Amino acid sequence: MQHLANVGISILFDGLAYAMILFVISVGLSVTMGLMGFVNLAHGAFAMAGGYVTVSLTTRYGVPFPLALAAAFVLVGAGSIAFERLLYRRLYAAGELDQVLLTIGLAFMAIAGYTFVYGPEPQSVKVPGYLGGRLDLGFGTFPAYRVFMIAIGAVLICGLWYGFERTGLGARIRAAVDNRAMARSIGIDVDRLFTLTFALGSGLAALGGGLAVNLIGLTPTFATQYLVLFLIVVAVGGLGSIKGTVLAALVLGVFDNAGKYLYPDGGGFFIYAITVLLLLLKPAGLYGRE
Amino acid sequence: MAASKPDLAARARAAEFLLRRHRLRAAEALPWLAAVLAYFVFPGHLVFGSQLLIMVLFALSLDLILGYAGIVSLGHAAFFGTGAYTAGMLAARCGWTEPLSGLLAAGAAAALVGWVSGWFLLRYRGLALLMLTLATAIMLQELGNVRADITGGFDGLTGITIAPLLGRFHYDLYGHTNYLYALAVLFLLFLLVRRIVYSPFGQALTGIRENVRRMHALGSPVHRRLVVAYTIGAAIAGIAGGLFAQSNEFVTLGVLGFDRSAAVLVMLILGGAGRLYGAFVGAAVYMLLEDYLAKLSPEFWEFGIGLLLVLTVLFARRGLLGLLEDAGRHFGRGAPR
């Protein structure tokens, strides 16, 4: 019995760590999609870029892991501004099909580019010693890396919630998500707001990608492999809702992880079945606006 | 209620308009001539040729759904895969090796999936529809993985044997029979699709694509029309999948994957959606480029197709055929409408 409880707790714990990755990567997608209605299938490619930046910095240049993560956030976030200005901007008014095609094209190019530079084999990242072992939390010992992930996720959730709900910038973003035309007409520069959130979202995706290397691995197909999962988190949670993204990431992360442990062959099926069912009932997601 | 005189005249004009659009043009013989010619000129490449014809058929089925009815689907491979597994499993598991009835079964199974899923999904638009079509296809893929004992899972379904076509024509290593078989099926289904898109039903689909609110206001049964179009498109995609399984004698769960849904979308957009022959041009360019570039290096291929897609969206939104049309107009002859 004791053993069973331990297994249960460790599955739940793994699921939580996994959910944090899903949240950190998806939240930017959710806000940018909510803000501009832009279907960005290249979001996974930004996360992947973060993963490769982290790998390169830690293994090739010996940069400490936390610093490499911060660098991934800044570099990818800043780099994404160029994409937003040059490419995405042209298609804000276009239909979702055009946006899908453009961003699939970018994702393909990213996959090819990273395969060319890094090769198709999985990459690993050097994690500092204090994150390598196990940590005693009083009710059990857990891998330190997962504890670290959950802690980062919790801090980010709180930080984003505060920024979104309690600051002027967050209020402007929420206003623009709710009603873009009205936000414009009261003098909010929605375009600049979007560039800013886009950079922030891509940076967070890169951070998530860097964190994910040690947990789910990194190959050049990362850009599309997990994309469906990110999109599902966004769609289930509801566009532009941080609360919804947190909830969807937790539920999907924990269930997907548990399903893979307990029922390795069919675990994936239930996630998608639940998603379809939920979207049929609430097409705008749990906390989206109809 | 008797129709008044101007009403009759208007109807006659509308009928004349539809007939004029429907009329065959000389240029339409070109792809078919090319396909027949290829049979004699490239006898060593017929295996590739039949793959190409199958992808043309697959892209054509998406053209009906996306190009005409305006339904943006990220899960069109669901129907291709359903057809492929139906034809494959009939032959490998049930010993049903007759190809034509296997193909019909593939189409019927895919139509059923299309009808049921379409009835639920086509009430939605935008992101919800994208996600629902995507998730449905992946759900089918996972379902195939759950029952890997029957489907062969990601390792693939082997042991598909196909009886001689019509009891006479054996399948040979060089793909002569397969090529002509695929070409004949494509031709017949193309005629069907062409008929559909120029019919009043096809006009209604275009209307829904262009302005769904207006079609609702006109009293058009929008949902029913979309479901019918989706079901027909699914059936054709299923037949393409059936052809794929029969000609390769091998299927893996990859046929249901997002990659294949994306590939067919890319082919159609590249050629030009909503213009029937876009499927031909797009699939041909895509497959030839793939064949050529992937031999050099798979990364070149993937990068090339990504770049092509970005350029198409930004500069040639109506596809290669649209570019050709523009060029024709530019040089003063004026492309025929």
Residue of A104, A227, A230, A207 whose CA lies nearest to A159: A207
| pLDDT of the residue at B173 | 59
Nearest to A273 among B130, B139, B309 (CB): B139
Between A207 and B253, residue with greater pLDDT: A207
Distance (Å, rounded) from C-alpha A272 to C-alpha A278? 10
Chain centre distance of CA B177: 22
Average pLDDT on A262-290 reads 78
**SS3 readout for chain A:** CHHHHHHHHHHHHHHHHHHHHHHHHHHHHHHHHHHHCCCCCCHHHHHHHHHHHHHHHHHHCCCCHHHHHHHHHHHHHHHHHHHHHHCHHHHCCCCHHHHHHHHHHHHHHHHHHHHHHHCCCCECCCCCHHHCCEEECCCCEEEHHHHHHHHHHHHHHHHHHHHHHHCHHHHHHHHHHHCHHHHHHCCCCHHHHHHHHHHHHHHHHHHHHHHHHHHHCECCCHHHHCHHHHHHHHHHHCCCCHHHHHHHHHHHHHHHHHHHHHCCCCHHHHHHHHHHHHHHHCCCCCCCCC
Distance from CA of A134 to the nearest CA of B (A): 34
pLDDT greater at residue A264 or residue B204: B204
Q: Which of A108, A268, A269 sits opposite B309 (nearest CB)?
A: A108
Interface of B with A in 172-211 (CB under 8 A): none
Ranking A80-84, A211-215, A255-259 by mean pLDDT, the lowest is A255-259
For B43-89, write each residue's pLDDT tens digit.
778 888 889 999 999 999 999 999 898 888 888 999 999 999 998 88
In Å, how far are B109, B200, B236, B244 from B206, measured between CA atoms? 27, 10, 19, 30
B139-175 burial, b if ≥16 CB within 10 A, otherwise e?
bbbbbbbbeeeebbbeebbeebebeebeeeeebeeeb
Tokens 């996600």 correspond to B131
- Lookup: tokens for A7: 């297994």
Dig out the tokens for B152 from the structure: 């062969």
Chains A and B: how many Cβ contacts under 8 Å? Answer: 124
Helices (H), B63-169: 77-93, 99-121, 126-146, 148-151
Task: Name which of A110-124, A138-152, B178-192 the model is least confident about.
Answer: A138-152
* Domain boundaries defined on chain A: 19-224
Q: B26: which DSSP letter?
A: G
pLDDT at B337: 46
Cβ of B314 within 8 Å of Cβ of A105? The answer is no
Question: What is the pLDDT averaged over residues A147-157?
Answer: 91
Does B228 reside within a domain? yes
What pTM does this model have? Answer: 0.85
Closest C-alpha to B312, from A193, A101, A208, A63: A101
Q: Is B139 on the interface with A (CB under 8 A)?
A: yes
Structure tokens at A43: 């979001």
Name the residue facing B139 among A39, A111, A272 (closest C-beta): A272
What pLDDT score does A265 carry?
67
The three-class DSSP label of residue B272 is coil
Number of other CB atoms surrounding residue B114 within 10 Å: 29
For residue B124, the enclosing domain spans 45-256
Task: Report d(CA B1, CA A280) in Å as an integer.
Answer: 42
Q: How far apart are CA B249 and CA B229, in angstroms?
A: 30
Question: Does residue B284 form part of some domain?
Answer: no
| Separation CA A24–CA A245 (nearest Å) | 9
- Pairwise pLDDT comparison (A207 vs B43), residue with the higher score: A207
What is the per-residue pLDDT across A84-105, written as a single tens digit (0 to 9) for each? 999 988 888 888 888 989 998 9
| Cβ contact A221:A114 at 8 Å | no
DSSP letter for B163, please: P
pLDDT for the residue B98: 80
Query: Can you read off the two tokens belonging to residue A271?
Result: 């996630």
Is there a contact between A98 and B313 if contact means CB atoms under 8 Å apart? yes
Is the Cβ pair A269, B139 closer than 8 Å?
A: yes
Following CA atoms B226, B228, B230, B234 in sequence, which dihedral angle do they give, to the nearest 10 degrees?
180
Percent of chain A residues past pLDDT 70, beyond the cut? 98
Token representation of residue B75: 């899960």
End-to-end CA distance of chain B: 36
**Residues of chain B with C-beta less than 8 angstroms from the C-beta of A283:** 124, 128
Nearest to A235 by CA among B131, B135, B73, B123: B131
For chain A, what is the largest distance between any 2 Cα atoms, rounded to a whole number of angstroms?
62
Residues of A with CB under 8 A from a CB of B: 33, 37, 39, 87, 90-91, 95-98, 100-102, 104-113, 115-116, 224, 228, 231-232, 235, 239, 265-266, 268-269, 272-273, 275-276, 279-280, 283-284
- C-alpha span between B25 and A120 (Å, rounded): 48
Note whether residue B247 is domain-resident: yes
CA–CA gap between residue B323 and residue B327 (Å, rounded): 6
| Tally of structural domains, chain B | 1
* Bridge partners of residue B169, in order along the sequence: B165
| Window 49-78 of B, Cβ < 8 Å to A | 66, 72, 74
Confidence of residue A39 (pLDDT cuts 50, 70, 90): confident
Instruction: List chain A residues with CB under 8 Å of B265.
Output: 100-101, 104
Rounded-to-integer distance, Cα B183 and Cα B1, Å: 48
pLDDT of residue A267: 63
Q: Does B265 contact A266 at a Cβ distance shorter than 8 Å?
A: no
At B115 the pLDDT is 95
Mean pLDDT in residue range A204-213: 92
pLDDT computed for residue B169 by the predictor = 67
* Alpha carbon of B152: minimum distance to chain A alpha carbons (Å): 13
Crossing angle, helix A227-237 and helix A43-55, to 10 degrees?
130
Q: Name every chain B residue with its beta carbon within 8 A of the beta carbon of A112.
A: 299-303, 306
Chain A nearest CA to B304, separation (Å): 8
Length of chain B equals 337
Q: Which residues contact B95 (CB under 8 A, 6 or more apart)?
A: none
Q: Per the domain annotation, does B55 fall within a domain?
A: yes
Cβ proximity of B54 and B242 under 8 Å: no
Name every chain A residue with its beta carbon within 8 A of the beta carbon of B137.
Answer: none
Mean per-residue pLDDT pooled into runs of 10, chain B (337 residues): 68 78 75 81 82 93 91 91 90 79 92 93 84 87 80 74 69 75 92 90 88 86 92 95 88 84 89 87 89 82 87 84 81 55
Other beta carbons within 10 angstroms of residue B85's beta carbon come to 28
- CB distance B302–A283 less than 8 Å? no
Q: B135 vs A275: CB contact, 8 Å cut-off? A: yes
Burial of residue B74 (CB within 10 Å: 0-12, 13-18, 19+) is buried
> For residues A279 and B153, which has the higher predicted lDDT (pLDDT)?
A279
Q: SS3 for B172?
A: coil
The residue in chain A having the minimum alpha-carbon distance to the alpha carbon of residue B70 is: A97
Measured distance CA(A11)–CA(A261) in Å, rounded = 8
Closest by Cα among A57, A230, A140, A222 to B134: A230
Is B15 contained in some domain?
Answer: no
